[in-house]
């Protein structure tokens, strides 16, 4: 088949890109190896930056972000048993929204399907060819096992951390800047009322915990664990005991745990984000550790820049923006990398750290919470730098 832009991956980045391109009169095909049901039930992060919400509202003024989602005007940093609130609107005039990623996906899929987007599920891309020519192509296998070739003017890899598009751009699937962390998060979903009005990021002597939410009836919580922890090895009672011991000062409201998972912690930025007629967005281009909830927001920021660049390239034959895409996107990506690393290192117990490091870390938390400048930096980064 022939299209203008072949988008590999129907996550938030791929779907929003197809919308922004369609808005500019540029037709695209989106493929994903998963089924629509699988995509809609992917449990991921839940926090949307102010700029992400502004964009979703511009795409659909009736977006459920404002009815089902919940605006949060702050978070709490807890350490040494004390809570310290970071007041977002008071510091930076912005907020965040608690609205799970799978809800964003449901909304975007419904909108794209209703607009007649060529969107194909169960299609597995195997490789990308010809990106140094004007006619790149994606070679894929259709749901029924037959070969599907998509000829395009441009190919976008929005296909996540195991991207098939990435090796065509970087020359090697793993070529990039990389860091691993000596811990992971044990995440649960439970049926219970919220234990607090806002999210609690807690640094405790026993390790980190995050008390988050999904809805009035469903809560999301995480605690720092060993990277190779087995999600099934702990009983519900042990999970609650672990969580409770890490948020001294709050009595958690317990309820049946119906989902558990272990999230790996890694930081990654690909060496190249664009080559010829192909570019990477979202997790295909970079991974951040989850602390600070930057992943999806960063993917959407990439897409805003790339959609503008593709509009100029494919609409007007102007290649200046696409030539500047990687450099511009990387400025925000490295700020988000730093913020995610910083929140992570400030809040977790590192196995190699001694008494000095422990006390230094508490000093760091106090430097942030005692200072308006410190709180403002956190609020600015957490609510998201303006999309430029
Ligand atoms: C959630 C995840 C995060 O990584 C975070 O910083 C805040 C919230 C969540 O899943 O709710």
- The radius of gyration computed from the CA coordinates of the chain, to the nearest angstrom, equals 21
Beta bridge partners of 147: 141
Q: Which atom of ligand 1 is nearest to the CA of 44?
A: 10
**Looking at the chain, how many residues does it have?**
388
* Fold: same for 5-46+100-179+267-348 and 181-265+351-381: no
CA distance 233 to 226: 12
pLDDT in tens, 304-344: 999 999 999 999 999 999 999 999 999 999 999 999 999 99
Listed in sequence order, the residues at least 6 apart from 275 whose beta carbon sits closer than 8 Å to its beta carbon are 131, 132, 168, 169, 170
Phi, psi of 230 (to 5 degrees): -95, 115
Listed in sequence order, the residues at least 6 apart from 269 whose beta carbon sits closer than 8 Å to its beta carbon are 176, 177, 285, 286, 330, 333, 334, 337
Question: Ligand 1 centroid vs 208 CA: distance in angstroms?
Answer: 13
Token pair for 319: 């290649």
Query: What pLDDT is attached to residue 144?
Result: 93
Confidence category of residue 130, pLDDT binned at 50, 70, 90? very high
Q: Which atom of ligand 1 is nearest to the CA of 45?
A: 10
Residue nearest ligand 1's atom 11 by CA: 46
Q: Which atom of ligand 1 is nearest to the CA of 187?
A: 10
Q: Is the pLDDT of residue 55 over 80?
A: yes
pLDDT in tens, 284-301: 999 999 999 999 999 999
CA distance 185 to 225: 6
Question: Ligand 1 centroid vs 295 CA: distance in angstroms?
Answer: 10
Q: Counting beta carbons within 10 angstroms of the beta carbon of residue 175, is it exposed (0 to 12), middle (13 to 18) or buried (19 or more)?
A: middle
Question: Ligand 1 centroid vs 211 CA: distance in angstroms?
Answer: 9
Describe the strand order of the beta sheet including 137-141 as a list of residue ranges.
124-129, 137-141, 147-151
Average pLDDT over residues 128-154: 97
Query: What pLDDT is attached to residue 43?
Result: 78
Which of 43, 196, 215, 293 should be mutated for ligand 1, with most atoms under 8 A from CB? Answer: 293
Q: Ligand 1 pocket: which residues have CB below 6 Å?
A: 45-47, 199, 210, 212, 220, 290-293
Whether the CB-CB separation of 295 and 344 falls below 8 Å is answered with no
Question: Ligand 1 centroid vs 246 CA: distance in angstroms?
Answer: 17
Write down the mean pLDDT value for the chain: 96
The CATH H-level superfamily of 5-46+100-179+267-348 is FAD/NAD(P)-binding domain (3.50.50.60)
Residue nearest ligand 1's atom 10 by CA: 45
Question: Ligand 1 centroid vs 291 CA: distance in angstroms?
Answer: 7
Whether the CB-CB separation of 137 and 152 falls below 8 Å is answered with yes
Whether the CB-CB separation of 306 and 19 falls below 8 Å is answered with no
Beta bridge partners of 71: 97
Kindly indicate whether the domain formed by 181-265+351-381 is annotated with CATH number 2.60.40.150.
no
Of 346, 319, 348, 325, residue with least CA distance to 270: 325
Which of 43, 45, 261 should be mutated for ligand 1, with most atoms under 8 A from CB? Answer: 45
Average pLDDT over residues 156-166: 97
Query: What pLDDT is attached to residue 174?
Result: 74
Question: Ligand 1 centroid vs 3 CA: distance in angstroms?
Answer: 37
Q: Please state the domain extents for the chain.
A: 5-46+100-179+267-348, 181-265+351-381
CA distance 64 to 185: 29
Q: Is the pLDDT of residue 371 over 90?
A: yes
**Which DSSP helix (H) or strand (E) runs through 121?**
strand 118-121
Token pair for 333: 């990506």
Residue nearest ligand 1's atom 5 by CA: 293
Token pair for 281: 């967005």
Q: Is the pLDDT of residue 353 over 90?
A: no
Token pair for 157: 């890899």
**Which DSSP helix (H) or strand (E) runs through 300?**
helix 295-310
Confidence category of residue 45, pLDDT binned at 50, 70, 90? confident
Percentage of residues of the chain with pLDDT beyond 70 = 99
Backbone region of residue 221 per phi and psi (left: phi > 0; alpha: psi in -120 to 50; beta: other values): beta
Query: What pLDDT is attached to residue 351?
Result: 85
CA distance 279 to 168: 10
Q: Is the pLDDT of residue 160 over 80?
A: yes
Dihedral sign from CA coordinates of 185, 191, 193, 197? positive
Confidence category of residue 172, pLDDT binned at 50, 70, 90? confident
Backbone region of residue 340 per phi and psi (left: phi > 0; alpha: psi in -120 to 50; beta: other values): alpha
Confidence category of residue 190, pLDDT binned at 50, 70, 90? very high
Q: Which atom of ligand 1 is nearest to the CA of 185?
A: 4
Whether the CB-CB separation of 15 and 159 falls below 8 Å is answered with no
What are the distances in angstroms from CA 24 to CA 21, 52, 303, 308, 319?
5, 19, 14, 9, 16
Q: Is the pLDDT of residue 100 over 80?
A: yes
Catalytic residues: 72, 201, 290, 294, 382
Whether the CB-CB separation of 340 and 288 falls below 8 Å is answered with yes
Q: Is the pLDDT of residue 166 over 80?
A: yes
Which of 189, 212, 336 should be mutated for ligand 1, with most atoms under 8 A from CB? Answer: 212
ipTM topping 0.95: yes
Query: What pLDDT is attached to residue 186?
Result: 98
């Amino acid at each position: 088949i022939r299209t203008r832009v072949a988008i590999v991956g129907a996550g938030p980045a791929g779907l929003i890109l197809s919308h922004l391109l369609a808005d500019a009169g540029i037709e695209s095909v989106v493929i994903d190896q998963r089924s629509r049901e699988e995509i809609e039930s992917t449990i991921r992060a839940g926090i949307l930056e102010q700029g992400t919400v502004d964009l979703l509202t511009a795409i659909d003024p009736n977006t459920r972000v404002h009815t089902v989602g919940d605006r949060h005007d702050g978070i709490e940093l807890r350490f040494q048993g004390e809570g310290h609130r970071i007041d977002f609107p008071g510091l930076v005039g912005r907020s965040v929204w608690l609205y799970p990623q799978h809800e964003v996906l449901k909304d975007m899929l419904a909108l794209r399907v209703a607009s007649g987007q060529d969107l194909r599920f169960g299609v597995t891309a195997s490789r990308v060819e010809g990106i140094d020519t004007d006619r790149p192509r994606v070679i894929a296998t259709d749901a029924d096992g037959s070969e599907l070739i998509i000829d395009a003017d441009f190919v976008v890899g929005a296909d996540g951390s195991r991207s098939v598009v990435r090796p065509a751009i970087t020359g090697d699937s793993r070529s990039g800047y990389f860091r691993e962390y000596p811990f992971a998060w044990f995440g649960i979903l439970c049926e219970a009322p919220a234990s607090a009005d806002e999210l609690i990021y807690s640094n405790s002597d026993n390790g980190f915990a995050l008390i988050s939410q999904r809805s009035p009836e469903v809560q999301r919580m995480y605690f720092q664990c060993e990277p190779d922890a087995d999600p099934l090895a702990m009983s519900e009672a042990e999970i609650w005991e672990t969580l409770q011991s890490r948020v001294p000062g709050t009595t958690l409201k317990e309820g049946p745990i119906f989902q558990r998972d272990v999230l790996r912690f890694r930081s990654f930025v690909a060496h190249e984000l664009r080559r010829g007629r192909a570019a990477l967005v979202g997790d295909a281009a970079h991974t951040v550790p989850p602390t600070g909830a930057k992943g999806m927001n960063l993917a959407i920021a990439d897409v805003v820049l790339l959609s503008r660049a593709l509009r100029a390239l494919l609409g007007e034959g102007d290649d200046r923006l696409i030539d500047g895409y990687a450099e511009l996107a990387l400025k925000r990506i490295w700020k988000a990398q730093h913020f995610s690393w910083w929140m992570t290192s400030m809040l977790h117990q590192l196995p190699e750290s001694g008494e000095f490091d422990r006390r230094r870390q508490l000093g760091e938390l106090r430097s942030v919470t005692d200072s308006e400048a410190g709180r403002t930096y956190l609020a600015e980064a957490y609510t998201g730098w303006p999309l430029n």
